[in-house]
Amino acid sequence: MSEWPRRYFSDLYGRQLAAQFTREQSEKQARVVARALRLRKGMRVLDMPCGFGRLTLPLARRGLAMTGVDLTSSYLAMARRSARRENLDIRFLKCDMRRIEFHEEFDAAFNWFTSFGYYSDEENLLCLKKVYEALKPGGRLLIETMNVSWILPHFRAHSEQTIGGMRIVYSRRYDARRGCISQTRTNFYRGRRTRCSDCIRFYTGTEMRRWLRKAGFGDIRLYGHNRLEDPASAPLTRHSRRLIAVAQRP
């Protein structure tokens, strides 16, 4: 797979993401993370990738010691400004998630909203191993993404939507051999037209469990939900739109 994230997230996607969720929705999603990871005040938590701190900030408001890692400088600048406005002490770092270097520093970590699977299987496994190393023994990891077992029966090669005044036209292709969905999005905003592409490897529940085990994790639990605000409580089925995996470092 190419290094598409460096280009994709520096385009207009940030505007879409900022307009896609209200503060209330982000607060609810942060509560889902907190409950699934059994977070308590004072715990050290890694948000990776953190974007512009959409969940990092509400979790910091709950008294958690947050660290956010992301590859996009503009997102991190927005996150730092927001934290300063609220007088929140949050560490934001620019780094590729394949190259983080932490050692047993965190009680928990999470990867939210289809932010896993950006690379080859080998590099995705490296991401998991890096998080494993970053967690203290007993620490938990949460991954939230689309459920490929739901995606494929509902696959749409073309669609469009309007978010925050921006019209977005999508063209998609599924590569069964690699288990990847390639997507090209054309953005129309204030007379400007841009195009960017992504390619995400989606894992079935069985595959996710296997790769987490390969990285060293145990006590792996899989949940299904249909909205990001839904709690991680229902079992994962082929009818679940989205997948949550929670795993623990022994």
What integer pLDDT is reported at residue 18 of this predicted model? 87
Q: What's the chain's average pLDDT?
A: 96
Given a cut of 70, whether residue 131 has pLDDT beyond it is yes
Report the percentage of the chain scoring pLDDT > 70: 99
Nearest partner of 98 among 129, 59, 60, judged by Cα: 129
Given a cut of 80, whether residue 214 has pLDDT beyond it is yes
| Half-sphere exposure for 180 (CA within 13 Å, toward CB) | 18
What integer pLDDT is reported at residue 1 of this predicted model? 59
Give the integer Cα–Cα distance in Å for 53 and 68: 7
Mean of pLDDT values over 130-154: 98
- Structural domains of the chain, ranges and CATH numbers in brackets: 4-145+202-248 (3.40.50.150), 151-198 (no CATH)
Q: Encoding tokens for residue 68? A: 């956010």
Beta bridge partners of 224: 243
What integer pLDDT is reported at residue 15 of this predicted model? 84
Inter-axis angle of helices 13-20 and 73-85, nearest 10 = 40
pLDDT digits (tens, 9 = 90+) for 12-50: 888 888 899 999 999 999 999 999 999 999 999 999 999
Neighbours of 212 (CB within 10 A): 24
pLDDT digits (tens, 9 = 90+) for 152-196: 999 999 999 999 999 999 999 999 999 999 999 999 999 999 999
Q: Are 247 and 218 in contact (CB under 8 A)?
A: yes
pLDDT digits (tens, 9 = 90+) for 55-108: 999 999 999 999 999 999 999 999 999 999 999 999 999 999 999 999 999 999
| Bigger pLDDT: 225 vs 11 | 225
Given a cut of 80, whether residue 249 has pLDDT beyond it is yes
Cis status, amide bond into 49, omega within 30 of 0: yes
Mean of pLDDT values over 116-144: 98
What integer pLDDT is reported at residue 2 of this predicted model? 66
CA gyration radius, the chain: 17
